[in-house]
Amino acid sequence: MQRADCIALDEADSLAGLRAHFRLEEGLVYLDGNSLGPLPHAVATRIDAVVNNEWGKDLIRSWNTHDWIDLPRKVGEKIAPLLGAAPGQVICADSTSVNLFKLLAAGLALNPGRRVVMSSNSNFPTDLYMAQGLGQLVGEEHCELKIVDDEDIPAALDNNVAILMLTHVDFRSGAMHDMQSLTRLAHESGALVLWDLAHSAGAVPLALDDFEVDMAVGCGYKFLNGGPGAPAFLYVAERHQDKVRQPLAGWMGHAAPFEFKTAYRPAPGIAGFAAGTPAVISMAAMDAALDVWQQARIEDVRSKSIQLSELFRHLVEANPALTGLEWVGERDLHQRGSQVGFHHPEAYAIVQALIAQDVIGDFREPDIMRFGICPLYLRFVDVFDAVARLADIVGKGVYRDPGFSQRSRVT
Ligand SMILES: *Cc1c(COP(=O)(O)O)cnc(C)c1O
């Protein structure tokens, strides 16, 4: 595979035009959109309007005149098709961590008599921490986190398990759980499921309604490109919504916040899963960032992601300078999310040396270099150039410069 072959693949790519929606410096290869998506031009325009016109001129009137008040619902409905969710089940709110707390508490209330939240030891730490925090608050007799190995999940689903809480795509290995079969297994054992879609939404096709998923959460700033600290989303299947309350009973989830009554009365449906005032500027950014999906089918994005990943692996494995790199996780690309990774004892320094050469990936403990594959803007030629620079850095030992081993707070 030569560089010219990659250019030809880009010329034939039906998604190629979407790259123009993003601000990306020429020469930069951005392989970290799974951690922080790049800036869509539409977001810059929208933020300017929100700040200078809506906030700047129209001030508080904008809650009504620019529908700020409806943003959490409206943005939720824009995310819903990417999740395979019919209207009325998704809201954009808070952070993923906070939404996990809300839904864990709601899910435990939906499944009285059971107290165990079961998860896997490969799960993203915040998911486990939030369950531990809830357990501490309500007491272990009401909420006990049980952590098992991925392969032990089916056998561990006993009649104490209230909620099976898993992250669909593993942030380290890229491995993707079989959502349909695990959801079915959980239901057969009487448990509910709570899926974390942080590395799935905008990356792989999802079918929450078809798979009868109970609850889900996910991130706005990764594959959805909503910007740093973008608000997250949550999904609650319609059949559950009016049976429970979530514990963060803030006024924005009240049925009539501007009646200012002393007693909390939840808004019906998904609206009751909001808590406080939405971060309007961030949510407007999310809203604008999602418009690109009007021109992209997630199925096409997924098949390009698999092609790009295949190319990445092929180029690494065919390069004699890169024999020290070992593929991370599942080899079958159809059972992975949209990232590739390689083990190497010097992964941290190699990633820093790559960043110094404008190829941005990231490092995950203990020894993984991780590259997000985001087909809305990533080209075949970008993958070619990234692997060429990687081979140069590893082949010549460029990463041995001590400056590349200095750890920053964010890796
Ligand atoms: C990125 C990520 C989060 C982030 O949660 P925040 O509350 O937004 O910090 C949560 N879960 C998973 C699986 C993630 O990958």
For ligand 1, whether the C-beta of 93 sits within 6 Å is no
How confident is residue 190, by pLDDT bands cut at 50, 70 and 90?
Answer: very high
CB 189 within 8 A of CB 163: no
Per residue in 54-79, pLDDT (tens digit) is 999 999 999 999 999 999 999 999 99
Cα separation values, 323 from 67, 138, 198, 277, 346, Å: 56, 51, 31, 52, 13
Which of 35, 124, 177, 224 for mutating ligand 1's site (highest number of atoms within 8 Å of CB)?
124
d(CA 280, CA 16) in angstroms, rounded, equals 31
Which tokens go with 411?
Answer: 């890796």
CB 211 within 8 A of CB 193: no
Per residue in 295-339, pLDDT (tens digit) is 999 999 999 999 999 999 999 999 999 999 999 999 999 999 999
d(CA 344, CA 25) in angstroms, rounded, equals 28
Q: Where are the beta strands (DSSP E) in 225-379?
A: 233-236, 326-327, 339-343, 359-360, 362-364, 368-372
- Find the DSSP H helices in 66-196: 71-83, 96-110, 125-138, 153-156, 179-188
Per residue in 259-295, pLDDT (tens digit) is 999 999 999 999 999 999 999 999 999 999 999 999 9
Residues of the chain above pLDDT 90, percent = 98
Residue 411 reports pLDDT greater than 90: no
CB 82 within 8 A of CB 201: yes
* Annotated active-site residue in 73, 222, 304, 364: 222
For ligand 1, whether the C-beta of 34 sits within 6 Å is no
Q: Annotate 317-339 with DSSP letters as a single string.
A: HT-GGGTT-EE-S-S-GGGB-SE
For ligand 1, whether the C-beta of 122 sits within 6 Å is no
Q: What pLDDT is attached to residue 345?
A: 97
* Interhelix angle 298-317/380-396, nearest 10 degrees: 30
Q: What pLDDT is attached to residue 88?
A: 98
Region 385-402 average pLDDT? 97
d(CA 339, CA 174) in angstroms, rounded, equals 6
For ligand 1, whether the C-beta of 95 sits within 6 Å is yes
Residue 122 reports pLDDT greater than 90: yes
Region 224-229 average pLDDT? 98
Cis peptide before 125 (omega within 30 of 0): no
124 annotated active-site: yes
Q: Cα of 10 to ligand 1 centre, how many Å?
A: 32
Per residue in 349-383, pLDDT (tens digit) is 999 999 999 999 999 999 999 999 999 999 999 99
Per residue in 76-105, pLDDT (tens digit) is 999 999 999 999 999 999 999 999 999 999
d(CA 359, CA 382) in angstroms, rounded, equals 9
Element (H, E) at 145: strand 144-148
* Annotated active-site residue in 32, 94, 196, 214: 196
- Share the mean pLDDT of the chain: 97
**Among candidates 119, 153, 154, which has minimal Cα distance to 134?**
119
196 annotated active-site: yes
222 annotated active-site: yes
| 3-class secondary-structure state, position 260 | coil
**Among candidates 3, 26, 15, 14, which has minimal Cα distance to 315?**
3
**Among candidates 91, 97, 84, which has minimal Cα distance to 196?**
97
Q: Where are the beta strands (DSSP E) in 185-338?
A: 192-196, 215-218, 233-236, 326-327
Q: Cα of 44 to ligand 1 centre, how many Å?
A: 24
